[in-house]
Amino acid sequence: MIFKNINNDNGISEVVGVILITAIVVVASVVVYTAFNVYNLEQPVLANIDIESVNTSNQEVVLVHRGGDSFDVSEISIFISVNGETLDYNLIELPAGSTTGFSGFLGGVLKKPSGATSSYGHDNFWDPGDTGDFNIAGTNNPNLHSGDLLKVTIYHRPTGAIISSPERRV
């Protein structure tokens, strides 16, 4: 009996190449899918918040949403500075029933300007046209005086972006 030795591996190398390319495409697809789903990026909030009024006798600051995106008040922090000096206490976690250094804010900082029967009659979303107010307590330092420059920075915690930072000479 005679055995013939055949050295033809051409068909095998094509099959192995197709399998390798398919595996590379599958792995690359999984990596791209994971990258986009793990890092679910929040869209930044774009809103025009302005200081509507300041009353130095009771340290009340009224903010108004002039336009742009609506946003949930529980996702923001408000930092206040007077003449470039940040207050000792700021509105970090909203809404809150009471916060050191502040008084008289309405279950958060929002109230509907008209049509609301109660100061707590809001949905916790700051929509265009809504106002928000708070009083800086006398224990907070520095207090507002006539001629001071007030700056209110509204920071959106989920995106790490500043929504608005209006200034006003009192």
CA distance 124 to 48: 17
Question: What single letter denotes the amino acid at residue 13?
Answer: S
Nearest to 67 by CA among 49, 52, 51, 53: 49
* Residue bearing tokens 């929504």: 163
pLDDT grade for 141, boundaries at 50, 70 and 90: confident
81: number of CA atoms within 13 Å, CB side?
Answer: 10
pLDDT value of residue 103: 47
Which CATH code fits 47-169? 2.60.40
Nearest to 133 by CA among 102, 156, 110, 159: 110
**Mean pLDDT over the full length of the chain:** 78
Per-domain residue ranges of the chain: 47-169
pLDDT tens readout for residues 17-66:
889 999 999 999 999 888 777 666 677 889 999 999 998 888 888 888 99
pLDDT value of residue 93: 63
pLDDT tens readout for residues 101-135:
454 454 334 444 444 444 445 567 888 888 888 88
At 120, give phi and psi (nearest 5°): -100, 10
Nearest to 69 by CA among 45, 49, 91, 92: 45
Task: Name residues whose C-beta falls within 8 Å of residue 121's C-beta, 6 or more positions apart in sequence.
Answer: 111, 112
pLDDT tens readout for residues 79-97:
889 999 888 877 766 655 5
**The whole model's pTM is what?**
0.65
